[in-house]
């Protein structure tokens, strides 16, 4: 297996499958602090090749002990300590599970209607890039969702995101906290048209005239928090367009 931090490559698994930590909670109450205190008493015994205990590894030895506003990760392998071995596989790599398209249309008494729809299956990504990181350093921007949802001293409602830290990555490790599903369903195009009757066209020497209106990319259904599930980072999203027109044939 080739380990690349937040994803890995292994024979028999999707390419670049997610490899992340699972979050237990964000430490926000005295009860949470008491829970951390209990966890700090856990440890993993280190043994030599003969099975003799040569030392121990404390629960928070690898990852810093969380304080108020910090993320607490889960000990997924149950060995009594938090480290990279507690990461779990997530998602199906760098591509959605599947793609699909649906095209419908009909004509009736001069009217015509068409609609093009498309979407994808599950596609998990780490929603943690330049415009949404929670590292409060010069040159970085904080998304409003994270700014409003972060933990801070005196907050009266439960925080969705951890506190902002400088030069400290304890809360920004790849985990399911920052995971977002980019699956989507889009109505890419809706068009309604009307072809004028031939009896109206003969006096003006036209063989066909059709008026229409069209909506492009107006409706997207997704859980993704970014600008557009088909783009990444701060790339410009797909534009919405409304158009009206007339097709004429002589």
* Judgement on whether residues 141 and 233 belong to the same structural domain of the protein: no
* Judgement on whether residues 106 and 29 belong to the same structural domain of the protein: no
In a domain, 144, yes or no: yes
Tokens of 138: 């010069």
Q: Which residue range is the domain that position 37 belongs to?
A: 22-86+129-173
Tokens of 157: 């409602």
pLDDT tens readout for residues 45-89:
888 888 888 888 999 999 999 999 999 999 999 999 999 999 998
Residue 245: the pLDDT is 92
Tokens of 207: 């063989």
* Judgement on whether residues 145 and 243 belong to the same structural domain of the protein: no
pLDDT band at 7 (very low <50, low <70, confident <90, very high): low
Q: Give the mean model confidence (pLDDT) for residues 94-123.
A: 92
* Judgement on whether residues 27 and 64 belong to the same structural domain of the protein: yes
In a domain, 50, yes or no: yes
* Judgement on whether residues 45 and 62 belong to the same structural domain of the protein: yes
In a domain, 224, yes or no: yes
Please, are residues 8 and 43 in contact by the beta-carbon 8 Å criterion? no
Tokens of 53: 């205990």
pLDDT tens readout for residues 146-193:
888 999 999 999 999 999 888 888 898 889 998 888 999 999 999 999
In a domain, 3, yes or no: no
In a domain, 11, yes or no: no
* Judgement on whether residues 59 and 117 belong to the same structural domain of the protein: no
In a domain, 4, yes or no: no
What is the pLDDT of the chain when averaged over all its residues?
86
Q: Which of 180, 92, 71 is nearest to 134 (CA)?
A: 71
Q: How many domains does the chain have?
A: 2
In a domain, 2, yes or no: no
In a domain, 133, yes or no: yes
* Judgement on whether residues 138 and 78 belong to the same structural domain of the protein: yes
């Amino acid at each position: 297996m080739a380990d690349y931090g937040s994803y890995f490559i292994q024979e028999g698994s999707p390419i670049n499958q997610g490899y992340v930590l699972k979050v237990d909670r964000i430490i926000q109450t005295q009860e949470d602090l008491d829970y951390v205190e209990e966890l700090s008493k856990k440890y993993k015994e280190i043994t030599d090749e003969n099975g003799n205990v040569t030392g121990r590894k404390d629960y928070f030895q690898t990852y810093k002990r969380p304080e108020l506003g910090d993320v607490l990760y889960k000990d997924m392998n149950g060995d009594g300590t938090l480290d990279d071995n507690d990461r779990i596989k997530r998602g199906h790599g760098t591509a959605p599970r599947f793609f699909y398209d649906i095209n419908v249309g009909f004509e009736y008494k001069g009217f015509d209607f068409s609609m093009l729809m498309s979407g994808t299956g599950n596609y998990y990504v780490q929603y943690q890039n330049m415009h949404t990181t929670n590292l409060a350093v010069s040159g970085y921007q904080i998304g409003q969702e994270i700014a409003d949802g972060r933990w801070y001293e005196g907050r009266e409602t439960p925080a969705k995101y951890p506190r902002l830290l400088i030069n400290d990555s304890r809360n920004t490790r790849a985990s399911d906290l920052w995971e977002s599903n980019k699956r989507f369903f889009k109505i890419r195009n809706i068009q309604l048209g009307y072809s004028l009757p031939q009896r109206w066209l003969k006096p003006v020497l036209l063989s066909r005239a059709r008026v229409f209106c069209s909506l492009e990319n107006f409706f997207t259904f997704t859980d993704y928090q970014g600008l557009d599930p088909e783009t990444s980072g701060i790339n410009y999203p797909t534009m919405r367009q409304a158009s009206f027109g007339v097709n004429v044939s002589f």
